[in-house]
Amino acid sequence: MKVDLVKITRADLKSYKAALQEAFQKGFEDRFGKTEEIILPEKDIEQSLNAKGAVAYKALVDGEMPGGAVVIIDEETQHNSLDFLFVKDGFQGKGIGKAIWFEIERLHQKTVVWETCTPYFDTRNIHFYVNVCGFQIVEFFNIKHPMPDRPADFIGDGNEGMFEFRKQMQ
């Protein structure tokens, strides 16, 4: 399957944010049930999109956007982070996430280290990052070992903790 990554435009923002939020909401609700809480608030997406070095991509397959990613690129150190990678419900299990990730690696070949996080409860993501993409788990944040800079209103881990992943490239 051919997946193209294209930088989002201002015209893409509304639908891009909605798709990103929907994907994260679905993952949370699949584990914990329906909630009125917004799992990925727009302010968190904005913080990522407005970070120094942020690059937001939409994935395109046959003209349709099944997912995307936001990366933060530090041109000086090349210690880069994957803030968000999402595949819309109905498109999962088709290799789109894998294609997105490996295209990101191709586009950012100078990267020395990639870092990202995912909730403890999300075994699908853990499998993806470790077994498909080659990341290693380097830290487990939980109530006894809190994540630095975690927003007070963060609920996306269902109070079960977060794994930090790292992938050494060079």
Compute the distance between CA of residue 147 and CA of residue 7 in angstroms, rounded to an integer: 30
Compute the distance between CA of residue 93 and CA of residue 115 in angstroms, rounded to an integer: 23
Task: Tell me the pLDDT tens digit for each residue of 105-116.
Answer: 999 999 999 999
Task: Tell me the pLDDT tens digit for each residue of 61-106.
Answer: 999 999 999 999 999 999 999 999 999 999 999 999 999 999 999 9
Amino acid, single-letter form, for residue 79: H
Which superfamily does CATH assign the domain made up of 4-168 to? Gcn5-related N-acetyltransferase (GNAT) (3.40.630.30)
Residue 43 has a pLDDT of: 93
CA distances 40 to 21, 44, 46, 47, 76, Å, are 6, 7, 11, 11, 29
pTM exceeds cut of 0.85: yes
